[in-house]
Structure 1
């Protein structure tokens, strides 16, 4: 990891980036040829950063540089460059715990807020593949391994109290990114906020309903408190299908700049929410009736498998690698103690499932009424069709958040989604 003098930060556009990389012997050797011949393309389509693909005659790399503001908004919304440091820390830890499921780190410069990583090719952003109706057979095994291992091994179940507190402290400074989540996910969609937007006029009444629904306000406030006050494990913090790159046989999790110690259910719920949105949005991408039926069945099956496989793997780790200070083995000795601990493990997972269900609902609402939307819906050109898919999603989101107890298992979630898939809001039939 390289560092420079305070105040040396500068935004590296193509010429400056070429010169910088040419001064890194290992990187230059990986790329090959003369720097003047390297191709450099800025491909960042996210909300915060610059992302470059650099290729030479021997190989390629990806370069990510944080900007001192929110790229989606501009300089009127400043943001600390330190988020690049936390992303680097998170990627380093995730690489240890879930090897092969995050990109390889090649270089980091804390002063420039710049990280060089392996070029993931021919991987694509999973969200783009889902819009196209592509199924990914490796995804369930890979993402559940990633979540089970990164969450379990950074929790009190695997760490001593001292180790856990030091780990929390290492990420505590990432509060500016946490604040974005606290506002954009848990607060703004439920009040009048200048950056909110939705599919008008069709969702106007739905937006007004979010602002006036006190039961929903209580539910989202409880989730916000859980997010702020429950440092259960090192969470990715932004684990949506735009932060996952895939091929048919590989999965890589990217962009953990929102990482901090928070509730495990937030990551699990984010994955579930984004799959559910892909399911509902699928109708808007149809060119003929029912042409995506097989894809939609796969998506709902994947939702169920994501939770079931995650829970199985997490419990297996707990049974085999529980070296943390929580649930000390000396308190659960003998056959009776072992049975009681196993019952407690299952109760723990049921509470985690409830958290994931609630967070999934909150993640859906923010993508429909908040600042940052997703292409699952946005690429549906017909606004009425788009709004139908969004309205169905909102109906499920409210139920997940307000009536969480009505969803005892993941099959009840997919059943509700399947039922809503055929529901038509008034604006679509009038």
Structure 2
């Protein structure tokens, strides 16, 4: 399949990335630069460029296809513009929690941003046993501020409608619609799981009660434009160390249900809870509790101090809104657990377990936990309830 590209677009190489960064004036012409391509995802090239004095920058360039499949799966380059605009919108709201943005180019489909190589990719660090004590507090704040100030509670409704047009992202939303909500719950060529899981997976496909709840969640994803979402907030999209946290890769950004971003982060914490030994699990569960606590507290403060909606002064409305967000986040977390286990795009938390029997056991727990979260989303009213359900599934009850 031939992919139509804008004139002026050409995938960068390490040599042309160096040439570009010098032409833009970020380094001196005589600087000796080192460049390496470090992208480990499916959709982009990522170049780390550094001079002899250790000044460094990152160039991220969108590819016109998914690397995991190849040119038979074409992708829009407009997602680079979405990413740049999302960062421009987020920087005033959470300047310490997203990377500094230096330059964007819509034609070349690239973004130049600060180097974050002093930080860890959180998923990689978690797998290595690291804790990141400030992570959940930072992500709770990030979620509350980016979501509140792009919702009808914190953003003028006319301004929001303009933003919704600017962040229309149909191609990448279609990926989420298919890979998160549709394909894992039906027989599909995109699904990918071990033969030993076939019986477990087929029971999912035959569970009409489960599929009804997933259908409702998909409908919310399709129709509830509550706020500007990151759209792909997993632990591979977050850099951190002991003190700092930076959220990256918002190319899936669009206006959707607030619980989706929260649920994705919940699910990726639960992958770690599933795979860690009991003595190392408490920090992950504490992150689960802390992220919602911080989100709830920060969102509540903003509700009382920064609202543009008259009805936020109505008694009981805040409690109703937070309850709905939490319920949605539980269901979306369940979908994420299942799709990352049996769908096209997996997580290293599970796939990286070398012992096959332990890996399969962990995947069965992830599938069952996901199923229970989806089915019981109305009954789970706190992160403590979520922890209790996790412990019950982990014990095989």
**How many correspondences in the alignment?**
392
| Matches of 1:350 and 1:197, distance apart in 2 | 34
> SS of the residue aligned with 2:281?
helix
CA displacement at 1:200 relative to structure 2 = 2.6
Residue from 190, 193, 208 that aligns with 2:185: 190
1:52 partnered with 2:47:
yes
Query: How far has the Cα of 1:121 moved from its partner?
Result: 2.7
Match in the other structure for 1:28 = 27
8 A contact 2:311–2:317 mirrored in 1:
no
Q: CA deviation at 1:156?
A: 0.2
Query: What is residue 298 of structure 2 aligned with on the other side?
Result: 313
Residue in 1 that maps onto 2:202 = 208
Secondary structure (helix, strand or coil) at the match of 1:50 reads: strand
Once the two structures are TM-superposed, the CA of residue 347 in structure 1 deviates from its matched residue by 1.4
1:361 corresponds to 2:356: no
CA distance in 2, matches of 1:11, 1:130: 32
Find the structure with the greater CA-based Rg. 1
RMSD: 1.4
Which string of whole-angstrom CA distances, capped at 9 and with x for unpartnered residues, describes residues 234-267 of structure 1? Answer: 0000000000001110000000000001110000
Determine if contact 1:281/1:390 at 8 Å carries over to the other structure.
no
Once residues 342 and 39 of structure 1 are traced to their aligned partners in structure 2, the CA distance between those partners, rounded to angstroms, is 59
Does 1:298 pair with 2:291?
A: no
Deviation at 1:140, TM superposition (A): 1.7
Bigger drift between 124-133 and 401-410 goes to 401-410
1:9 corresponds to 2:9: yes
Q: TM-score, normalised by structure 1?
A: 0.89
Kept in 2: contact 1:101–1:252 (CA 8 A): yes
Tell me by how many angstroms 1:6 deviates.
4.3
Contact 1:123–1:245 under 8 Å retained in 2:
yes
Residue in structure 1 matching 2:221, options 210, 218, 227:
227
Q: CA deviation at 1:209?
A: 1.2
- Work out whether residues 227 and 263 of structure 1, in 8 Å CA contact, stay in contact via their aligned partners in 2: yes
Tell me the equivalent position of 1:337. Answer: none
TM-score by length of 2: 0.96
For residue 117 of structure 2, give the secondary structure of its aligned residue in structure 1.
Answer: coil
CA distance in 2, matches of 1:205, 1:270: 26
Runs of 4+ in structure 1 displaced over 6 angstroms?
A: none
- Which deviations, in whole Å up to 9, do the C-alpha atoms of 1:12-67 show, x marking residues without a partner? 11121121112111x114xxx735x2111111111111111111023001110000
Structure 1 residue aligned with 2:99: 103
- Give the conservation status (yes or no) of the 8 Å contact 2:17–2:47: no
2:356 maps to which residue?
383
Structure 2: segments with no counterpart, 5+ residues = none
Q: Deviations over 1:52-110 (max 9, x none)?
A: 11110230011100000011111010001000000000011111111110010111111
Structure 1 unmatched ranges of 5 or more: 283-291, 333-340, 425-430
Query: CA deviation digits over 1:115-156, x for unaligned, max 9?
Result: 111001310110011111111111122111100000000000
Range that drifts further, 342-351 or 45-54: 342-351
Q: Confirm whether residue 156 of structure 1 aligns to residue 152 of structure 2.
A: yes
Q: 126, 131, 135: which one pairs with 2:131?
A: 135
